[in-house]
Amino acid sequence: MIFRNMRYFIREALNSMGRNRWMSIASIGAVTAALIILGVFLIVNLNFNFIAEDVETQVEITAYLDDNLNGEDISKIGRELIQLHGVKEVVFVSRGQALKEFREQLGDRGDLLDALEKDNPLPNSYRIKAHDPHMVGEIADSVALLKGVDEVRYGKEIVEKLFKITEIIRIIGLVVMVVFSLISVFIISNTVKLTVYARRKEIQIMQQIGATDWFIRWPFLIEGIILGFLGSLISIVLLNIGYYYIYNSVLLNIPIIKLLPREMFLYDISLWFIGIGTCIGAIGSSVSMRRFLRV
């Protein structure tokens, strides 16, 4: 029965979308907006995680040294460092070397550093590797106590910060998404309500002829689903285009930051979005029909 009538249902749904053109566009726009906002948060979140993981693999302690130390002091610190419990390897990085490495990291844009050649702001440092990444925190604390060490940095610090940021982004993203989903449901339910209202006479006649509730419901449900589906499709296209540009411009302008490649997640997100958009549409139209079908 349902499949035999599917063509009728879809035709009715499309007709009513044509009749309420502006409300339909508004509904699609609402779903698109909700999903784009969700998408932006998701993408930012995924990228922070990606960067955090990348940083975590290079858990290395860097001890920046005071500027006014002489060669003797520096090698003394080096000897002290290698004797610390859990330290596997200590490498001295001179200020000149640090600048050279930085230049290499920048690749093509290394010329940016030309101005710094005469007055190098980078300090001398030791890079310390631990036997066990879990001991990094402890070693870092001991290193910080050594005389002549100005500042200690280790990847974990950044990792923890990044994880904290991703956590916050995730919560904000979730709240924003829920709010926007509710708004979309509301707008779609209003669009479908207009359709139901415009066709209340028709619905009444259908009920008198003996149409089942589901026969009456299907066209409206399909209308909501189509609106939600179109909204999700547009959001996917816009997110893809947007990320493509951002990815390339980050690659060009900030080579240190490596963003998550598009194909690693946008496929999954697209599928999810189509699912979410369709559900928003279905829920929206169900909400508006409940009241009207009681005759």
Partner 1 sequence: MIKMINITKVFPNGVMALKDVSIRIRKGEFVFIVGPSGAGKSTIIKLISREILPTKGYLIVGGKDINLLKRKEIPYYRRKIGVVFQDFRLLPNKTVYENVSFAMEVVGASSKQINKQVPEVLDMVGLRHKAASVPSELSGGEQQRVSLARAIVNNPEMVIADEPTGNLDPETSMDIFSLLNEINRRGTTIIVVTHADSIVNQMKKRVISLDKGRVVGDQEKGVYNL
Choice between 118 and 201, CB closer to partner 1 = 201
Among 58, 202, 252, 271, which residue interacts with partner 1 (rule: CB under 8 A)? 202
SS3 256: coil
Q: What is d(CA 295, CA 140) in angstroms, rounded to the nearest whole number?
A: 74
Please list every residue from 4 through 23 that binds partner 1, using CB under 8 A. Answer: 4-5, 8
49 scored as a contact of partner 1 (CB under 8 A): no
- Cα separation, 111 vs 129, whole angstroms: 31
Helices (H), 57-112: 71-83, 95-106
79 or 294: CB nearest partner 1: 294
* 209 versus 256: smaller Cβ distance to partner 1: 209
Contact status: 212 vs partner 1 (CB under 8 A): yes
User: Which of 6, 144, 171, 205 lies at the binding interface for partner 1 (CB under 8 A)?
Assistant: 205
> What is the rounded end-to-end Cα distance, in angstroms, of the chain?
23
Residue 137: other Cβ atoms inside 10 A:
15
Binding of partner 1 by 198 (CB under 8 A): no
Q: Residues 266 to 295: which contact partner 1 by CB under 8 A?
A: 295
The mark string for 147-186 relative to partner 1 (x by CB under 8 A, - otherwise) is ----------------------------------------
Q: Is the separation of the CB atoms in 295 and 207 below 8 Å?
A: yes
According to CB under 8 A, which one of 79, 108, 145, 209 is a site residue for partner 1?
A: 209
Q: 295: which residues sit within 8 A by CB, 6+ positions away? A: 203, 204, 207
Restricting to residues 213-242, which ones interact with partner 1 according to CB under 8 A? 213, 215
Alpha helices in the chain (DSSP H): 6-19, 21-56, 71-83, 95-106, 136-145, 155-198, 200-209, 213-253, 266-292
Quick one: how far is CA 202 from the chain centroid?
46
Q: Of the listed pieces 76-84, 109-117, 200-208, 257-265, which binds partner 1 according to CB under 8 A?
A: 200-208
In the bound state with partner 1, the residue whose beta carbon lies nearer, of 4 and 21, is 4
Binding site for partner 1 (CB under 8 A): 1, 4-5, 8, 201-202, 204-213, 215, 295
